[in-house]
Amino acid sequence: MDDPLDLSQFDAERVALDLEPIDLMLLADGVVERAIASSQRPRVTLIASPSVVVMADAARIERVLANLLVNALNYTMAHSSIYIVVEAYPDRARVSVSDEGPGISPEDASFVFQKFRRAPTSQGRDGYGLGLDVSRKIIEAHGGRIGLDSRPGDGSQFYFELPRIQPNMTAW
């Protein structure tokens, strides 16, 4: 997520996306396998609707999901659960990552997707405050949206939504 070339492209809004039909369940399963240490995988549960397909740049969407997943693992207790949920709606797909961490106050939630902004709960943790900003830009470049539902003490749910390919449509 900290690739300077990627960051400069997103800042200049010159993002070239390599769009192809992507099954979000398969993508999420692959992210868990590649981005998470085998010792951490039992903490992660994937719940997915079948055949949730979007037109997307797979590598960039993988980066977004990996960022959300790694953040969830880093901000929760060592044995708490993380849930990745892939849902299909008539016009969009939604991928959410929920944790049982400390949650985020409404004040802090208002800026978590801004560059170089980090919540006070991130003190002493690695990072520069770029991952969520770049994730937001990737999702917006796909015509989607990214968000957060959280309350202090109740964990957090980060999610993104992308336009969905209808099951009866033929993808190119």
pLDDT in tens, 66-119: 999 999 998 888 889 999 999 999 999 999 999 998 888 888 877 687 665 555
- Which pLDDT belongs to residue 153? 87
User: What does the alpha-carbon distance between residue 37 and residue 167 come to, in Å, rounded to a whole number?
Assistant: 34
pLDDT exceeds 90 at position 55: yes
Burial of 111-147, coded b for 16+ CB within 10 Å and e otherwise, reads ebbebeebbeebeeeeeeebbbbbbbbbbbbbebebb
Name residues whose C-beta falls within 8 Å of residue 123's C-beta, 6 or more positions apart in sequence.
none
Amino acid letter, residue 61: I
The reported pTM is 0.83
